[in-house]
Amino acid sequence: MRGAGRETGGRRVRCPLASPLAAAAAMALLHTRRLLAAPRLAAAAAARASSWWSHVEMGPPDPILGVTEAFKRDTNSKKMNLGVGAYRDDNGKPYVLNCVRKAEAMIASKKMDKEYLPIGGLADFTRASAELALGENSEAFKSGRYVTVQGISGTGSLRIGANFLQRFFKASRDVYLPKPSWGNHTPIFRDAGLQLQAYRYYDPKTCSLDFSGAMDDISKIPEKSIILLHACAHNPTGVDPRQEQWKELAAVVKKRNLLVYFDMAYQGFASGDINRDAWAVRYFIEQGINIVLAQSYAKNMGLYGERAGAFTVICSDAEEAKRVESQLKILIRPMYSNPPLNGARIASIILNTPDLRKEWLVEVKGMADRIISMRTQLVSNLKKEGSSHNWQHITDQIGMFCFTGLKPEQVERLIKEFSIYMTKDGRISVAGVTSGNVGYLAHAIHQVTK
């Protein structure tokens, strides 16, 4: 007999005892496997319980990364990603500046080595960075009462400064940030051991600067506290004080004897004019306010992945600057030993080669002008759509980012109905807007706001 049945008149008939026997055998086998598996499962559970990292919880996803991931999954041919803080050309493609390509070619032709940089970075780069920020005619620059060290772009430069303040600024642990501020400011200063406070800055009702609120709050900040100011192109709002307002801010800061930490990530990229974008930094120094400053070359030279930046301290005199420099090096050495080479070389060659510097100034103005143009075109298209809202804040704001004033539920509709992706607070990267999609964006915004 094969199997558990027999043929009867062309029909297969199962043995009445076969099914119960097979079922019993299967149950016995399953029970045996469970018994054998139990020790392994218990061991795995015990291992998890005894792991050094069993208490580590899953961290929250980065909100901008989440926007990008959702955008990638979307199959709509008209989809737009307005969450990414990186420049795009009018075809929506990443853009490498011609002056950068030329600087890279010069580096390649010289067959330069790959030796370590000094702890403080490439000397030609740090000097050129200080001159770019302070101005060639700056008294602080010419007298040498400053120190500039190379940092790992803007974030790394900010962190060097935060660690320096934590160790040497004894007057206060409090850092006052504008409300809102760049999302990374909070963990940078918090993880350096400083305490986060806030002052009013943005008025969501008008989508503009809450100047009276800012002045009122700053006038009440305890003396000798630290205050962070965005030098230009405030991230995330795109709202900057006017020069007259900067003067009033400088006066109250000086009266309260606050230490000013300037974050300048967009010099040249905001207005297209490097001197205009550095005006606040230079004015504060002229008023006798000895600032600290972080710079980045990610946006204004498109050196995003090269991680080129700088941190500067304005001191009382050159001797003090030397002492501060020595301590900055002591801080940097155990953090990352010395900074990356290539980005600093590229930026240094551009800044120190007259023809390339001239070409860079034209190119950075071209990037700024394209973003300004997209702001104007967006407002124009919203009017063409018949929108009755006042969108002037879009053109009043400056830089890569724009606080549109859109509510979370409106943003949700833009994502679901139009495949237009942005963060829930309604912030858009204007760099993601092109002459080819600005009409579609205006149409979609009108649909969710009318």
Q: Which of 277, 299, 360, 391 is catalytic?
A: 299
Is 142 considered catalytic here?
A: no
DSSP of 244-289: HHHHHHHHHHHHHTPEEEEEES-TTTTTS-HHHHTHHHHHHHHTT-
Query: What Å distances lie between residue 108 and 113, 123, 306, 342, 427, CA to CA?
Result: 10, 20, 16, 11, 40
Q: Which of 182, 246, 360, 391 is catalytic?
A: 182
- Residues contacting 193, CB < 8 A, separation 6+: 166, 173
Cα gap 338→321, rounded to integer Å: 20
- Closest Cα partner for 302 from 363, 373, 234? 363
Looking at the chain, how many residues does it have? 450
Please give the helix or strand (H or E) that residue 189 lies within, else none.
helix 185-191
Is 299 considered catalytic here?
A: yes
Q: Which of 210, 217, 240, 263 is catalytic?
A: 263
User: CA dihedral defined by 315, 316, 321, 323, rounded to 10 degrees?
Assistant: -110
Cα gap 306→299, rounded to integer Å: 11
Cα gap 203→200, rounded to integer Å: 8
Q: Report whether 430 contacts 400 (CB < 8 A).
A: yes
CA dihedral sign, ordered 342, 343, 346, 349? negative
Q: Report whether 204 contacts 400 (CB < 8 A).
A: no
Is 263 considered catalytic here?
A: yes
Which tokens in the block code for residue 250? 């400088």
List 220's β-bridge partners, or say none. Answer: none
Q: Which residues are catalytic?
A: 182, 263, 299
